[in-house]
Structures are given as C-alpha cells and as structure tokens.
Amino acid sequence: MSELINNSVQRKEMLKTLILQLHKGIAPDEVKKQLVNLMGMVPYGDVVEVEQELISEGLPQEEVLRLCDIHSQVLEGRIDLSNVKFVPNGHPVDTFKMENRELEKVVESVFSIFEEIKKMEDDKVLNEQFMRLRSEFNKLMDVDKHYKRKEYLLFPFLEKMGITGPPTVMWGKHDEIRGKMKEAIETLEADGNITAGDAKTVIDLILIPTVKTIPDMIMKEEEILLPMCLDKLSEVDWYQIYTQTGEYGYCLFDPKEEWKPQGISVADEIHADENVIHLPSGSFTAKEINAILNTIPFDLTFVDKNDKVSYFTQGAERIFDRSRAILKRDVRMCHPPSSVHVVNQIIDDFKTGKQDRAPFWINMHGKFILIEYFALRGEDGEYLGTLEVSQDATNTRALQGEQRLLSYEKKGE
C-alpha cells in the first residue's frame, strides 16, 4: 500500500489525517501502526509542511504544542533521512549536532545516577549523589544557549519563507523545557538532607520527565527541523547564522574549525548590527572594546606589519606618554637613537620568526615597570605586527598571602 502513496499531495493529506486522529484521541500506537501500513517512511519536509497547513486551517497552535510530543512518538523511526544534505565541520548544523552529542552524554550520566540511587535502601541519606545530579542538571541548563540560537538566528529565516507555525510550536517546547529544568534545579538545590526513598519519588515525578525532554527535542531537531532547514536556507543564510552564533554562545561544545562557504563575497557577510565587531570567541561594539582596552591595567601600543604605530590605549594611568601625533609614524622614530638598534633587532626577529616575545623590566621613579613585546601572527603564521605591553608591576611584586573574593577595598574608602 505504501508504494501507492507516492504522490506528494496525497502523502501529506494522509499524514494530516493521521495527525488529526491523534488530536481526536486515537491511541498513538494505533496511529503509528496505520502510518507504517499506509505510508512506510515519511519525508522530513512533509512533517513541517503538514503542521503548517493544519495551523493555517484553524488547528490552534496550543493544541499542536500540547500533542507535539505524541506526534514525535508516532513518527520516531519512520522519518526518511536518506536525502539529508551533507554539512562540513564547523557549519551551524554540524555545531547543533555536536552540542546534541554532548547533551546526550550528560543525559546518560544523569540516568546512571538515577539507577545508582534506585538501588539504595530507602532510609539512606544522600549527599554525594545529589551533588552530582546538581552538577549534571546545571550542565543541561546550558541547552538554553542552543535553543536561543534556534529562536533568534534560525527561526527568522523560516518565518521569512512563511514557515511560522512549526517554529512557534518548537519555541513553545523550548519554554516548557526551560520551565521543567528550572523546577528540577530548584528541587535539587533545596536545603537539607534527602533520603533515597524521597529521592526516588523526586526522580520519578520531576527529574525523569525533565531529562527526557532533551533527547525528545534532539529527535525533533535532527530528524525534522535541521534537514528541512538545509533544504530551505541558502549558503549566505547559513553564513549569517554562523557569524552571529558567538553572540549567544555554545552549549557544552566549543567548535575548533571555522566554516565559510566557498564563493561567498564580503558583501554577503551581513550582521544583524553593523556596529558590532564579531570575533570567533564573542562580539562587542566599538564603544565597548574601547572601554575594555582603556580599562585593562596595561599600556598597549600596536605597531603594524609595516612598522607604523597604528594604535595605543588611553587608560587612566599611563606609564609612557603617548599622543596621537605618533600614529602612522615609523616606530623607530618614536625611540631615542641609542635604542633604535634594539627596536630593529626585535622587529627583525619577529618578522623572521626567530622570536615571538621580548620581555624587559626596569626601575623608574621608584616603580618596577615590566615591558613586553609580542609578535602578532595570523592563523597561517603571517606576521601582522608587534604589540607593546607595559605595566606597573610594583604592587603585584609586593603581594603576599591571599585576598579572597569581595574582600577588596571599597571605592572612596
């Protein structure tokens, strides 16, 4: 029979009928049996399109959200993934999947702790096991970053294409999971000792239902959402998602490989906010980075690869005077003739790769001054310039013992 339903329209109508049976209360096992007999494997794209059509035809999103997990239960193992597009390492979809693998490891660890507790006598007081559970659930809460990237980076592209219902439903599931996770963490952080008997009740009523939401969402992502997105989004779309990913952070996984689609032009590298500077480990505005550089307790001076002074910080406590008159001036002209040979030696050693760092320290006006020069290089080893870092290390050298967090001297005292 499944061979007969090979027309896309007929197939989606059949899937729609089966999903509506779930909403009318037909048992999921019975609907799954019909699905196997009538349709065999279901193309991943049909699932999203059918849910979108049902919502457009008047089925409330709240109703779809309520039975979303039952939809997944019926479809699990029946979705055809044979035509899913390949993605290279570093691609946003690859990162989503690698994060899912890390989440699965934590889920496995959590269930192993559950099994350990369930084997204990009911009157045994738990401390160590609950501490481990707290730690693992805190890791699982990192999924919030994973979900935010879907909500704020991925879903807007689908919405532009008129695919609004399924992203809204999935966002609702995200919020459900966040709520369950928060409740679970609050339960685990409650004061007082807990016996194994009480813990077993908490595990069955709160913790297990919470943990199961993670693999359930992974199935929805990897078997339905992400394959469909790979079909719908262009390489430029994915690159825009990739360049903005750092703003939201990563979930239990730090990508080591960068990704950029071939043939993309600089004009395609559009960010949500053109005033934001995007780097592999994060982002900030020009105003923020200027404040950062002027706040760190060092004097920084950057000399570009052509030996011209290109930048210096303007912190509150400068060690060596600088004025903007030195900008674009040859660095040799910024030093007395007696030390130019040292400058030349450092630059030559940095450019040839003989050295990457040159430290000096001097006593000046009763202060111990540390001056270090660093070669700046690109990923391919190309020399980009020299960074001079100067700091007053007098107080640092005099430190003894310990000073704990929040025991610092109050401002104005």
pLDDT tens digit sequence for 354-369: 999 999 999 988 899 9
Average of per-residue pLDDT across 292-301: 91
Rounded to whole angstroms, the Cα distance separating 143 from 150 reads 11
Beta-strand relationship, 367-377 and 282-285 = unpaired
In this prediction, residue 1 has a pLDDT band, given cuts at 50, 70 and 90, of very low
Query: How do residues 77-129 score in pLDDT, each as one tens digit?
Result: 656 667 788 899 999 999 999 999 999 999 999 999 999 999 999 988 887 88
In this prediction, residue 267 has a pLDDT band, given cuts at 50, 70 and 90, of very low
Predicted structure pTM score? 0.63
Residue 298 corresponds to which amino acid?
F
Predicted local confidence at residue 3, as pLDDT: 42
Rounded to whole angstroms, the Cα distance separating 182 from 208 reads 14
* Lowest-confidence pick of 68-72, 96-100, 227-231: 68-72
Residue 242, pLDDT > 70, answer: yes
The more confident residue out of 216 and 49 is 216
In this prediction, residue 227 has a pLDDT band, given cuts at 50, 70 and 90, of confident
Strands, E assignment, 123-268: 125-126, 194-195
**Residues 151, 191 contacting (CB under 8 angstroms):** no
Contacts of 22 (CB under 8 A, 6+ apart): 28, 31, 67, 70, 71, 74
Residue 161 corresponds to which amino acid?
M
Backbone angles phi, psi at 67, to 5 degrees: -105, 15
Rounded to whole angstroms, the Cα distance separating 237 from 153 reads 10
Predicted local confidence at residue 110, as pLDDT: 96
Predicted local confidence at residue 266, as pLDDT: 44
Predicted local confidence at residue 105, as pLDDT: 97
Query: How do residues 166-217 score in pLDDT, each as one tens digit?
Result: 788 889 889 999 999 999 999 988 766 788 898 999 999 999 999 999 998 9
Rounded to whole angstroms, the Cα distance separating 143 from 173 reads 13
In this prediction, residue 346 has a pLDDT band, given cuts at 50, 70 and 90, of very high
* Mean of pLDDT over the chain: 82
Rounded to whole angstroms, the Cα distance separating 19 from 348 reads 72
Beta-strand relationship, 367-377 and 357-364 = antiparallel
Residue 274, pLDDT > 80, answer: no
In this prediction, residue 2 has a pLDDT band, given cuts at 50, 70 and 90, of very low
Tokens of 350: 């940095």
CATH number among 3.30.70.20, 3.30.450.20, 3.30.1280.10, 3.40.50.720, domain 296-398: 3.30.450.20
The more confident residue out of 231 and 273 is 231
For residue 196, the tally of other CB atoms under 10 A from its CB is 19
* Lowest-confidence pick of 92-96, 124-128, 140-144, 250-254: 124-128
Torsion over CA: 75, 78, 80, 86 (sign): positive
Query: How do residues 12-44 score in pLDDT, each as one tens digit?
Result: 666 666 666 656 666 656 655 555 454 556 665
CATH number among 2.30.29.30, 1.20.1440.230, 1.10.10.60, 1.20.120.520, domain 92-268: 1.20.120.520
